[in-house]
Every structure is written in C-alpha cells, then in structure tokens.
Structure 1
Amino acid sequence: MSFSSSPQAGRPRGVPDLYRAVWRWHFYAGLLVVPFLILLSVTGALYAFRAEIDTLIHRDVMRVVAQPGPRHAPEQLVAAALRAQPGTAFRYVPPARPDASAEIGIRTAAGERLVVYADPHSGHVLGAIADKGTAMGIVRRLHSLAFFGPVANGLIEIAAGWSILLVGTGLYLWWPRPSGETGREKGGVVTVRGHPGRRIFWRDLHAVTGAGVGVVLLFLAITGMPWSVFWGSTVNQWANGHNFGYPAGLRVALPMSEEHLGHAAPTSWSLEQARLPHSTGHGAQPIGLDAAVAAFDRLELAPGYAVSLPVGGNGVYTGSVYPNDLARQRVVHLDQYSGQALLDMGYADYGPLGRALEWGINIHLGQQWGLANQIGLVLFCLGILVLCVSGTVMWWKRRPKGALGVPPLPRERRVLRGVVAMLAVGGIIFPLVGLSLLVMLALDRVLVRLAARGRVREAA
C-alpha cells in the first residue's frame, strides 16, 4: 500500500490551500475517532434507557408483586441478605416504588462486592448480582472502556477531544461556498444527490448528517469530558477547591475524615472530592439503619435514594439521590449516634461551574427532559452512526487503489502550520489530546516523506 497524498489522490488542483489543510486534519481526526464513535453511539443509545432495560432483563430480582400492608424493616432485609450472602453490608437502597425490590450492597470476605435483592413484602432474598454487574452497568463500563483499565479510559478521553476537532473541521468543510472555491458542484449542503452507488451520494449524506448532528456530537463530547481519567479528575479537583470538595457556603466547622464521598457512594461529579464528616457521639448507642432511613424519609429525599452505611465508629449514614429533576439532587450525612443531619447539600449549593456541568451531564445521560431526552439521544446516536458509516464508505470510494488516500497537502506549507497551530489550542486545553496531536504530526511527516519517495521512484 502506498501513502499517496498528491492532488490527484483527492480534490482537484483548484482547491484552496486552507481547505486542503483542514480537510487533511479532518481526515486524520476521523481516522482516529470513528471506531470509538461507533462504540460510544451504540452503548450510549442503550444506556439512555438503562432503567427500562435493566428492569426488563433483571425483572426476576428487581421487580416484586406489590402488596398492601407494612413492609419489612430495612434492618430485617439486610439481615436476610447477610444470611444468604455472608459479608459486610455497605449500602441499602429502599424500594423506590411498591413493585420494586430492596437492594443491599454486601462486601464478601474475599473482597467481592455484590448487590443482593430482597422482597420488602415477604422478606425473601430474590438473588444477587455483582456490584455494577447489571446489563446496563456492563454497558456503561464498555462506554467508558473502564473494563480495560485507566489506559483504555484515556483513549476515550483522546477520542472525545479529537471529536471536538472533528466537528470544527467538518463544519468548515461543509460551510456553503461558491463551487469554484472547493472544486465541487453546488449541492450537498441540505440535500443528498445521486444514489448509493455513487461517491457523491455518500459525500452529501456525510455532509448533511454532519451538519445536523455535529453540534450535538460537540455537546456530548464536552459533557462527557468530566468523566475522563485525566482531564475530568484534574478539573474536578480544581473546581472543588483544591480537593476539599464541598460547594461554596458549606465549609462548616465539623470534624472531617479523609474519606471522599466519591469512594463511599455513587455521587455527582461536583461532589466526588467532598470529604465525609465524622460522627461525634462516641459512647452513645448508634441509631441503626431503621432510624436512619426514617430520618431520610422525614427529610424528604426523593424516592430511589441510596444509603451508605457507616464505616467504623466515626462513620456517618449518607443518603444520596440523583433523580431526573436536578433540583432534587441531594446528599445528606447523618451522625450515626444522634441522627442529626451534619450536612445537607443539593444542586442549588453547587458553584456555577458545578451547576453548568451537572446540567450538561444530566442531558448527556438522557435525564433532563424525560422520555423526549431519551428518544432524542437515541436519534442523535443513530445520526452519528450514519456519519461514521458514510464517511468510511466515502473514503473507501475516493481513495486510490492500493493507497491510504490521505487528502492532499496544501501548496503553501505555512497554511498547514496555521491549521495545526489552531488545533494545538485544543491540545493545550486537553493535554492527552495534545500528546496525541504530536504523535499525529510525526506520522504526517512520515507519510509526506513516504509519498515523496514514491513519486521519486515513479519518476525514475
């Protein structure tokens, strides 16, 4: 295979240098991110309906027959779960609705974390699943490549950053111009010409679809960055006040542990670095889980909240809930002896950056506008798949036989350097993307040299 990047390998010779330079880097960005975008689109579309799919697949343990009358107390259900699966309970999730089971998180002696499901009406244990091991838990870990460790998760961060560059360069290439400026006929802006057997059909389909979903892809890439392994964790620590973590106005004079909320319980991005307060009533009798759940109910936490159990004599009961309605996001820490609410935090307490990011994350997860948000996400994920497929087919039909078909270099190299300088701004904002940009620059130089050698051999 050759690495042709001559003008004959792509657009006509009349294409402006800036267009050539942007097109070349749009090609590189697509080459890097298309496999990831396909993975993210498929898993993202599934995860938008995570509750519905998990309930369907795991209905034998997640759903019960609703019955009138009192339900078993939380401590009774935890005791039943521990009889079925010995270990240490670390979390309890009260049933969010009459036909839902209770969830008890248990850490076994071997260190395995399980979720045991119990019928709150009969007290019977229904079964157990590994913590984060539901169908949608697996899909989420595939979505972030967390299955494969932090290095793979870093690849997703790089792909998200290059997706931002992909959208920017793609919108420039799509922008309507007189046909003489790009060497193409009019069309392909909002209409698709030709038929699937022709390359122009795929070019137009790619351009029109990109114009329709590009802004959403940009939004999803940016709102996905808070979960990234490097950029997300770094910005999280900066945004939370040098690793202290509590929103502005909640820095109170309480004894604090070194344990972070993100380690103890599922929590929002804004509170991952929040440290847990200490319970202070040593020597007193702990109130127990039943009283803690009753206290959270009195405080009107939204249904579906989870209770993290105290760890050691200084630990606290933590009730946390992250419903579709951002205004009802809440984390409450209770003293395990007095039952007093030590800290009560909600969405309104976050700083401006935290509120903006949480709003974006809520849309990214398909929660902000209910079913409309879910359906919209699925449609946009399908649009991204069309974008990936059409771009791949278009490239395959365009490339010279036996060549990679890298778009041609601009005649003036300074134009290419100017485009790279603009891309470097993104590399500064997202350092892992910047490192990958340096790698791509080195590969581009290699491709140019290989192409030059090929032309010299042909001339000889």
Structure 2
Amino acid sequence: MATDPGLAEQQAPDSSGSAVADRPASPSTWSVLRPLVLRLHFYAGVFIAPFLVVAALTGLVYVFTPQLEQAVYTRELHVPAAATAHPLSEQIATAREVRPGEQVQAVRPGATGTDTTQVIFAAPDLPESYLRTVFVDPHTLEVRGDLVTYGSGQALPLRAWIDNLHRGLHLGDAGRLYSELAASWLWVVVLGGAALWIGRTRRERRARLLLAPEFRPAGRRRVLSWHGAVGLWAALGLLFLSATGLTWSVHAGENVTAVREQLSWETPAVSTELPAAPAGDVGIDRVHAAALGAGLDGPVEITPPADAGSAYTVQQVQRSWPTKQDQVAVDPSSGAITETIRFADYPLMAKLSRWGIDAHMGLLFGLANQLVLAALMLGLLSMIFWGYRMWWLRRPTRGGGRFGRAPERGAWRRVPGRIMAPIIVVAAFVAYALPLLGASLLLFLVVDIVLGARARRSTGV
C-alpha cells in the first residue's frame, strides 16, 4: 500500500552522532506484518463486504430450496402409491405425445412408488444447461407436468431461479463476476481476520476471549470481540465455501478445471464406445433391469445412445450421504453391461470434489448440512454488520467526520525485504490463479495511493 513519509520511527543519535547504544529488540515478523494485514483487511471489509452480503443472502435462500421445491411442485414430483406400474417404455411414449418430434436426452425413473418418472428432452432453443422435463405417473400414465429444468440436478423453475440469482443475479456471465469476487476475497478476509484476532488476544493475554465474546462494557471493544470470536468459529466453514464456490466461477473456475485435468482429478465416466455397431436395441426396460441387476438402486438417470455405435449409460444420481454415483454402460443389442465404474473406486480428489460441491449446496447431509450453511451465512452477515459498526465507531466525534478512520498508511515500508519479497511472489501467483482478486487488489493499491496523495496535499507534508 502507499505510504505517507515520516511514519517510521528513527533512531535518535547521541551527542557524538552515533546511534543510541541500547537499541530495542528486533520486532517480530508478525509485529511488522500486522499493520499491513490490518489495512488489507480494512479495505476488503469496506469494499468487498457488499458483494459478500448479496452472496450470503441469496445463499441463505438457496439452502432451503429442496424443501421449497417439494412443497411447490408436489404434483409434478409425487403420485399416490399403487401396486403396479407401466413399463418404462410406455411412460416415455406418453411423454413423447406431449413433446412430439423432440429428442429424449435422458430418463429418470421414479425411485419409489410415490415418485413420478422424469422424461428429459433436449431444449436447443433455451439457454445452456436448460432442458424440458415431462413428469409421468408410472401407475396411470397420467402426465403430471411439463416444466423447464436446469442443470445436472434437475432443478425445477423455482430452485433454478434462486440458483441463478445466487450465482449471477440473472445477469449472465457478467453477473457471475460478483460471486467470483466474493469467493475470491472471502478466504483472504477470513485468514487475515483470524490472524489479527488471535494476535490481539495473545498480545493482551486474554486467550479466554478467543472464542467467547465479551458482553460488557458496551462500545467498540465489545463489537470487536463479537466480530473476532464469531469469525474464528466460522472460519473453517467460510474457507470451505470460498474454495468450493470458486469451482463454479468464470475465470478462477477455468484455472481450477485446468489443474484438475493436469492432475487427473476429473470425475471418471464409463466409455460408451462399442467394438461394433449394435444389431438392434433391446429397449430401455431391459437396460434399466440390467442396471438394477448390477446394483444401481435408488434414483438413476438413463441416457440413450448418442449414435448408432454407442451404448446406453445408467448412473446413480443420489448426492446425499452415503453418496451413490455408480455408473454402467449397457450394450443396446444384448442388454449386457460393457463397463462399470463404482463411486468407491473414484480417485480421492474426484470424491472430495463431489462431496465438496454437494456440501456447498446443502445436499450431502440433508437438513443438518442446511442448518450449518444457514448458520455460516447468518454468522457472515453478522460479522459484516459488526465490521461496519466498528468503522462507524472509529469516526471522528468532532469536525463533522462521517466515516471511521482507516488503519495507518505506509505499513509496507516497515516490512523487511526478506519478508516482503516472498509476499510479493505469493501475491503474484494468487493473482494469476484468481484474476478478480488480483485486479481488485491492484485497484485497492491505486485507491490507497490516491488517498495518500490527497492526505499529503491537505497537510502540506
């Protein structure tokens, strides 16, 4: 950050012109880094917090969309139980009558006797990742609904709308920059704040306040204790949300994908290639039966062959714990399984990626997962409120000042080169991996330089 001259303390010379003999002990690394971290934390808190507020509020709503979806679309999703069901092929034929001439992209048979079958049609006229789904009663062949669905999770319209609000404010790729900026800075704010809070409690020898905020006396000190203690409680969860959120981002997400490809951390998929073109098609009912025989129970998605030389694929789509994501390829001419991939055999990083995404969405552990995410969002919103409150309490009480004072400028000048050099290298690497973080950090630097120049002009220094 830019600095005002004259802030560094100088050694006072003695009468002979030499430095004072009794020099103070060399400052610790943290003592010279703390002002720099404090100023960065301040800038991020003031300017990035609004983006975090939007992400937290929209995320808080999204967390409970599974329950909202079940309540709003109960007719489309559920049917009365019955003793018998029509063949899957007849259910698909019924759906084709609703959308004649359109391509069936996948089918999700009802997982239980009270679930509808979802026949999913390609929708080239809709934006990417959007599909059309016809919901069929497997017992009566009644069409229960025809809706636009979104993504691999088959989000129905309400959840899809909230999802896109959280992801990009319904502004397309340009809107997604807000969530990427929030995710890019969240881990920086959390780590910086945790370091500052731990350092403060250690310096004041008040370790008991590390995780237990003060209730009295009122004022900035109490607000700070709540800001710091709650932040420390939420730190791991917020770091997790930052890391997993970046996987969906526009620019940083591309870098994450590239790293996964280079390190072979991608999710495996069965091969649909066949040694010879199939002589016929045994039909989707036998394909489904073959998958059930291979142990693919629960909700599954069946994808028809992409062309005349390809196999069917059947994959489990249960994303709660324990995760069921087994998949098989089935030869259309014989109904024989040509390849099987079990989730238990996924590479560790592919499993962690699956679990991380599902936990971020509140799916992995059901209601417990949702409540933890809700608590994290409420905690983040509270910390932002307390942060702005502290800024307000720092405002001058005389002279008509409207805003709180920023931490002192020029902290970087007191950081030794042996410490500053690796910081610059790490910052450059992080800026490359997280472009929006790098660009906004550069903007902070420019703002700081401008503010420093104005301060010097106003004081005449």
Deviation at 1:313, TM superposition (A): 1.2
- Cα distance in 2 between the residues matched to 1:411 and 1:232: 33
Is 1:81 aligned to 2:95, yes or no? yes
Tell me the CA shift for residue 406 of structure 1: 3.3
Provide the rounded CA distance (Å) in 2 between the counterparts of 1:90 and 1:329. Answer: 19
Indicate the residue corresponding to 1:203 in structure 2: 224
* Equivalent residues of 1:187, 1:193 under 8 A apart: no
Give the stretch that moved more between structures: 50-59 or 133-142. Answer: 133-142
For residues 208-357 of structure 1, the aligned pairs below 5 Å read 208-240=229-261, 270-271=267-268, 274=269, 276-282=271-277, 284-323=279-318, 324-326=320-322, 328-357=324-353
Rate the CA distance shift 1:37–1:427 in 2: closer, same or farther, 3 A. farther
Q: What is the aligned partner in structure 2 of residue 251 from structure 1?
A: none
Deviations 1:2-42 (A, max 9, x none): xx9989xxxxxxx9553221111112222343233333333
Contact map agreement 1:292 1:317 (CA 8 A) in 2: yes
Return the offset for 1:210.
0.5
Aligned-pair CA distance for 1:115: 1.2
SS of match in other structure, 1:156: helix
- Determine the structure 1 residue equivalent to 2:360: 364
Stretches of structure 2 that go unaligned for 5 or more consecutive residues are: 6-29, 151-155
- Taking a change above 3 Å as real, the CA distance of residues 370 and 424 of structure 1, as seen in their structure-2 partners, is farther
Asked whether the equivalents of residues 157 and 432 of structure 1 are also in contact (C-alpha less than 8 Å), the reply is no
Asked if 1:168 corresponds to 2:191, the answer is yes
Q: Tell me whether 1:57 sits opposite 2:42 in the alignment.
A: no
Q: Does the aligned pair in 2 maintain the 1:66–1:98 contact within 8 Å?
A: yes
The question of whether the paired residues in 2 share the 8 Å contact of 1:287 and 1:339 is answered with yes
Distance of aligned partners of 1:446 and 1:143 in 2 relative to their CA distance in 1, 3 Å threshold: closer
Q: Corresponding residue for 1:375?
A: 371
Q: 1:116 to 1:426 in 2, by over 3 A?
A: farther
Name the aligned partner's letter for residue 453 of structure 1: R
Q: Distance in 2 between matches of 1:185 and 1:375?
A: 29
Higher relative contact order (CA 8 A, sep 6+): 1
Q: Quickly say closer, same or farther: Cα 1:237–1:149, change in 2 above 3 A.
A: same
Alignment of 1:107-118 (within 5 A): 107=122, 110=125, 113-118=131-136
How many residue pairs get aligned? The number is 421
The DSSP-based 3-state class of the residue aligned with 1:277 is: coil
Structure 2 CA distance for partners of 1:416 and 1:126, relative to 1, 3 Å: farther
Which segments of 5 or more consecutive residues in structure 1 lack a partner in the other structure?
Answer: 8-14, 248-268
Distance 1:35 1:343, change over 3 A: farther
Letter in 2 for 1:113: L
Residues 92-131 of structure 1 aligned to structure 2 (within 5 Å) = 92-107=107-122, 110=125, 113-131=131-149
Contact 1:174 1:189 in 2 (8 A): no
| Aligned partner (choices 160, 175, 191) of residue 213 of structure 2 | 191
Deviating 4+ runs (over 6 angstroms):
4-7
**Offset of residue 154 of structure 1:** 4.5
- Conserved in 2, the CA contact under 8 Å of 1:317 and 1:334? yes
210-219 or 424-433, which moves further after superposition? 424-433
State the Cα distance separating 1:170 from its structure 2 match: 0.4
Q: Tell me the CA shift for residue 187 of structure 1.
A: 5.6
1:406 has 2:406 as partner: yes
Matched residue of 1:35: which SS? helix
Structure having the higher Rg: 2
- Could you tell me which of 23, 29, 34 is aligned with 1:19? 34
> CA offset at residue 355 of structure 1?
2.7
Does the 8 A contact of 1:153 with 1:229 survive in 2?
Answer: yes
**1:393 and 2:398 aligned:** no
Please say which of residues 425-434 and 277-286 is displaced more in the overlay.
Answer: 425-434
Identity between Structure 1 and Structure 2 (%)? 26
Shift of 1:430: 6.0
Contact 1:427 1:433 in 2 (8 A): no
Assess, with a 3 A threshold, how the Cα gap between structure 1 residues 398 and 96 changes in structure 2: closer, same or farther: farther
Tell me, in whole angstroms, the C-alpha distance in 1 between the residues paired with 2:95 and 2:52. 41
Q: Distance in 2 between matches of 1:321 and 1:57?
A: 25
For residue 176 of structure 2, the aligned residue among 129, 153, 173 is 153
In the alignment, structure 1 residue 450 sits paired with structure 2 residue 451: yes
Q: How far did 1:277 drift?
A: 2.3
